[in-house]
Amino acid sequence: MLSMGVAQMPFNVDIAASTERSIAQRILVCEDNHLIAVGLASILAREGYAVLGPVDTGEEALRAAFQDLPDLALLDIELAGAIDGISVAAELHPMGVEIIFVTSDYQRAALDGREYASDILIKPVRVNAVLNSVAAALRKKSPTERQEAVLAAS
């Protein structure tokens, strides 16, 4: 499970996989629980991803994403602020951003967010589950497909 003491997290850094990324893939972390957000960001950074955030509101997530479009977004559904994670996903998905919900509200994710989600992870979540889900979601689209999605959304 994703225990939120960063010092306790087991990191399995695959140096070969990290160096294969000529340009670090950008991952937006949007989570209103500070410990979980920092834990996710730390795990991803250690694996060689460029982490945007973490941010704790939907408004901040959209601002960060529009400033530097991520390849993938890890989103909680229930966020601080007026915009929830499903609304953030609805904005980012048409622009080619892969979405992974990390939430304790599986029912809402499955009902309202399934059309946007590459995966839904239920809290508490294991570190390997996060890393495997991220890797699988990022393999779904080539850089060319992502660029085409961004142009189509413009």
Are 141 and 96 within 8 A, CB to CB? yes
CA gap 76, 69 in Å, rounded: 18
Query: Among 47, 32, 49, which Cα is nearest to 102's?
Result: 32
Quote the pLDDT of residue 145.
63
Which residue has 């306790």 as its token pair? 8
Domains of the chain: 14-149 (3.40.50.2300)
pLDDT tens column, 59-96: 999 999 999 999 999 999 999 999 999 999 999 999 99
State the pTM of this model: 0.80
**Burial class of 117 by CB neighbour count within 10 A (0 to 12, 13 to 18, 19+):** buried
pLDDT tier at 43, thresholds 50, 70, 90: very high
Q: In which element (H, E) is residue 74 found? A: strand 72-75
Are 57 and 80 within 8 A, CB to CB? yes
Q: Residue 152: phi, psi to the nearest 5?
A: -65, -35
